[in-house]
Amino acid sequence: MDMLIKFLVAAVGAGTPLLFGTTGEILTEKTGHLNLGVEGMMSIGACIGFMVGYYSDNFVLALCFAALSGAFSALIYAFLTVTLMANQNVTGLTLTIFGIGFANFIGIFVLNKSPEGTLKLPEKITAAMRGIHIQGVSDLPVVGELLFSYSPFVYIGIFIAIVSAYYLNHTKAGLGLKAVGENPGAADAAGIKVTRVKYLNIILGGAICGIGGVYCSMIINGGVWISDNVGGLGWIAVALVIFANWQPSMAILGSFVFGALRVLKYYIPQSIFPFPIAFYDMLPFLMTALVLVISSMRKSSRINLPASLGLNYYREER
């Protein structure tokens, strides 16, 4: 029982960066733009957020800069694909390669300048990221640990996902966004400012991805900078969007399930399941591939794939 609770807690922690990436990409894809640069935007957010945290020792400032840098990298994507109508796949991939290269480059650059030879976050910010503790509530057996013991990131992530779900399903702006993703021509004719909606939501999505990135650099390795700290999570997030059926509320569930897959290897006794470690490392990717296949086999009308996903909108060709 104790082991199970530890496992679930670890799963939530491992799933949190995925939650940010997935929510951000859902908002992006709802505009009809498939941004394959999630990994890159997360890397840039991871790098800038970490460095700001390292020098300022201020958690909130680090978060803000992570979000801003993610938003800025999404702006590059938005400018190229919305205004200049560049190929979305290639632009996203380039953003990923650029973002990873940029993050590693800056990381090593700052590392070489540091006197200690490592980059470790200072004490105050580490304390701010630690699991919360509410007197009385967090001490409750089981419930306390399962619900009230996480790093603030977890609650921020869930909060953003719930707000995004509300925004998409219950506000006028969200309705406009979905209209743009389904049929930009019709949305344009209905008086929706297509370009503005696309820019806003792609940038918003990038900002959310940036926060997910800073989780990777500040938490996963215990506050020490290492290269490639996002390590493919951005790509899993892109796939999780399909798993979550383009619904932020489903993204919460999906992220934690995939988080569980990522930490499974530490909690499964080798004596019962003698699988090699490499198999557990492969598991999230294998599952994602399976999800892709299964969701494509199921030709249900309930799939919320935006109809214009991947197609650029040129006003004069509608």
Strand ranges (E), 228-273: none
Q: Please say which residue, 177 or 236, places its beta carbon nearer to other proteins.
A: 236
What Å distances lie between residue 52 and 68, 165, 222, CA to CA?
12, 30, 17
Q: How many residues does the chain have?
A: 318
Binding to other proteins (CB under 8 A) within 10-49 occurs at 34, 36
Contact residue for other proteins among 10, 162, 257, 282 (CB under 8 A): 282
Contact residue for other proteins among 242, 251, 263, 264 (CB under 8 A): 242
115 binds other proteins (CB under 8 A): no
Q: Please say which residue, 61 or 111, places its beta carbon nearer to other proteins.
A: 111
315 binds other proteins (CB under 8 A): yes
What Å distances lie between residue 248 and 44, 75, 166, CA to CA?
23, 22, 9
SS3 category, 262: helix
In 3D space, the residue among 61, 30, 179 whose CA is nearest the CA of residue 124 turns out to be: 61
In 3D space, the residue among 37, 93, 88 whose CA is nearest the CA of residue 210 turns out to be: 37
Distance of closest approach, residue 151 Cβ to other proteins, in angstroms: 26
Residue 314 — φ and ψ, nearest 5°?
Answer: -115, 115
105 binds other proteins (CB under 8 A): yes
Contact track, other proteins, 49-88, x by CB under 8 A:
---------------------------x--xx--xxxxx-
Distance of closest approach, residue 138 Cβ to other proteins, in angstroms: 36
What six digits make up the tokens of 35? 């941004």
Q: Please say which residue, 141 or 274, places its beta carbon nearer to other proteins.
A: 274
